[in-house]
Structure 1
Amino acid sequence: MLELTADPIDLTAALVDIASPSHEEKDIADQLEEALRAIDNVEVNRHGNTLVARTHRGFDSRVILAGHIDTVPIADNVPSTRGVDAQGRDTLFGCGTVDMKSGMAVYLNAFATLANAEELGKDLTVVCYEGEEVASEFNGLRHVNEAHPEWLRGDVALLGEPSGSVIEAGCQGTIRLRITAHGVRAHSARSWLGDNAMHKLAPVITNVAEYEARVVEVDGCEYHEGLNIVFAESGVATNTIPDLAWMFVNFRFAPDRSVDEALAHMLEVLDLPEGVEYEIDDACSGARPGLDRPVVAELVAATGGKFRAKYGWTDVARFSELGIPAVNFGPGDPAFCHKKDEQCPVAMITEVSQVLRTYLCS
């Protein structure tokens, strides 16, 4: 059985050693369920490969500790190893050490050791969910929200996403459009008989390339927006005018815009010409920082008042839609997410664990 009360560093290594790429979370979910059900006086629920465990101590506030248990595909980096990083720091290496089994280990350890402790000052919910690293339709947190929203009631949510042991508040929203142009295929020696679909995308590409992204402050956090072509495809043969061309354009927008507002702005900038169409491939709202909420301010104080904006999209947005303020708070440098040499200094794991316990026991 997984030892949830073990040192969070050792627990991180144990979680990393259970390979759990997206869509293959059953093994780790089974082991976590067994370990959570061994804790006295807690309610444990399961939906698919997502687990939700809750205390019922009768405190005035409830803190949700959430994290995903899936990883990107393994890249010869499981099981975990321990060594020294480029800066000479004691470090864990392996898939998930940053994104986000170290954060999950800290949260599970806090839940297991404090669930029945006298010093606990807030009721706790821990959520271990599947399918975060893939399309939104597979997201376990989304599935629980749709099927059992009562499991997610709380006053504040913490996501164990890697944040360098600093609170990263809110998150940016994201929209990904598939832009498609149709033409007429022809031999390139007789190009006038065809209609080059790729050429129709040229003005749209220019509009994106010349776009000047906004930098905006929202609730004390500075967000950098970005509009970029992230994938493009066209071509039949080297002597053929293509009759189809398409590309994905991704807009990362600050949380002061709604999805509808962001989409309207995006389409205005793209200024699609006749014969070019779009469809929404993915769209997720952002989340305002919520640093003005007392229960969040208490967490900020516990970290010494340090915070910054979260640029990427995370599931804090799902909690924000439920009216629950949420922040990202976990060990590890986000720059190592999804890399073959993914790594987390063990001191960060200890630091986040200590800060979290101080906050939960206040």
Structure 2
Amino acid sequence: MPEHTPTPLDLTLDAAALTAALVDFPSVSGGEKALADAVEEALRALPHLTVDRDGDAIVARTDLGRDERVILAGHLDTVPIADNVPSRLDADGILWGCGTSDMKSGVAVQLRIAAGLPAPNRDLTFVFYDNEEVEAERNGLLRLTRNHPEWLAADFAVLMEPSDGVVEGGCQGTLRVRIPVGGVRAHSARSWLGENAIHAAAPVLARLADYVPRRVDIEGLEYREGLNAVAIEGGVAGNVVPDACAVTVNFRFAPDRSEEQALAHVREVFDGYHVELTDTAPGALPGLSHPAAAAFVAAAGGGARAKFGWTDVARFSTLGVPAVNYGPGDPNLAHKRDEHVAVRAVHDCETRLTGWLTA
């Protein structure tokens, strides 16, 4: 990983230049400290904000006595770099580098608003957190919900996840199950003496192949579910009929189902098999009927779509805070070696958020 000499963040830079500065802080999950330090230092220099820190998560708040409080949240970490740091700006106005799309362009917009709007029309809470790109138990936002839920009290939240400048409401829930299938081990030259567990998994795969996923409309947004095998394990050696096999199935479910309802549905699909739950996370309803959300959708261009995938809006939902995904990055470019973001998209995102917060 390229070394980076910590330097102060200049919040007077335009949003695209600030994105480049953020990208040039390597901050792979678990290594965000230098960037978190720089973010904290920059925010503490702003007299209109109260700044707190928990680990490598920074929370800054205005306290203007407004009728409504809104959270702007984004994660500081990236996936491992792939020879794509430092950043590079080309002649066509495209900024290249790890995290440009997911999601340092969104973080740059947060920082620009934190510095440039000392008196917004709503009180603001800015949340910058660590370890989003790894397992849930390390997630900095989850840690904040446990350690300091009062820091996250709000009427509405915008998670600056890449959404290509379109509001994405709520998110799908997700769960994974493991379905073991047994057999009898034997020499493959005398296979009639055994029962092949891998062959016995065929009906499980057939049920998946025949499954028709549900589409459901929630608050005008269409969510599409999916039930898919994502792993299969089995086999002993090249001359052995295996006596064990297991299929891992991932269910992406619409947010009108609870985790319990989703699991019950999967058990129904695989009736007759033992179904072991290995992990689960709830979805989040769009919440677009909330006045703050409706105003935000209008300010962002008037359109909204369902979020396919799981994001931290679900954590805000568990706190009773309606939330949407909205950021300048393209989600299809996240985690790619050629990750990039259009400078214009970053500026447009800042302009729309600023308009909403000053109208």
Report the TM-score when normalising by structure 2: 0.94
CA distance in 1, matches of 2:89, 2:135: 32
Q: RMSD in angstroms over aligned alpha carbons?
A: 1.4
* Contact in 2 for aligned 1:62/1:124 (Cα 8 Å): yes
Q: How does 1:245-284 map to 2 (within 5 A)?
A: 245-273=245-273, 277-284=274-281
1:71-220 correspondence to structure 2 within 5 Å: 71-83=78-90, 89-114=92-117, 116-117=118-119, 120-220=120-220
Residue 68 in structure 1 maps to residue 65 in structure 2: no
| Structure 1 residue runs of 4 or more that deviate by more than 6 Å after TM superposition | none
1:339 paired to 2:336: yes
What is the one-letter code of the residue matched to 2:163? Answer: S
Structure 2 segments unaligned to the other structure (5+ residues): 1-7
Match for 2:19: what amino acid? T
Deviation at 1:255, TM superposition (A): 1.0
Inter-CA distance 272–13: structure 2 relative to 1 (3 Å threshold): farther
Query: SS in structure 2 opposite 1:28?
Result: helix
- Aligned partner of residue 177 in structure 1, secondary structure: strand
Q: After alignment, is 185-194 or 262-271 more displaced?
A: 185-194
Q: Is the 8 A contact 2:267 2:275 kept in 1?
A: no
* CA distance in structure 1 between the partners assigned to 2:87 and 2:271 by the alignment: 49
2: CA distance, partners of 1:83 / 1:243: 57
Query: How far is the alpha carbon of 1:183 from its aligned partner?
Result: 3.5
Aligned to 1:7: 14
**Distance of 1:80 and 1:210 partners within structure 2:** 46
Paired position in structure 1 for 2:33: 26
Distance 1:248 1:92 in 2: 38
- Structure 2 partner of 1:319: 316
CA contact (8 A) 2:166 2:326 kept: yes
* CA–CA distance in structure 2, aligned partners of residues 280 and 307 of structure 1: 33
> 1:266 offset after TM fit, Å?
1.3
> Quick check: 1:204–1:272 contact (8 Å CA) kept in 2?
no
Number of the residue aligned with 2:5: none
TM-score, scaled to structure 1: 0.94
Residue segments in structure 1 that go unaligned for 5+ positions in a row: none
Equivalent AA in structure 1 for residue 132 of structure 2:
E
1:125 partner SS? strand
Q: Which moved more, 1:179-188 or 1:248-257?
A: 179-188
Look up the SS of the partner of 1:31 in the other structure.
helix
Paired-residue identity, %? 56
Q: Does the Cα contact within 8 Å between 1:204 and 1:271 map onto a contact in 2?
A: no
SS at match of 2:201: helix
SS at match of 1:304: coil
Amino acid in the other structure paired with 2:23: V
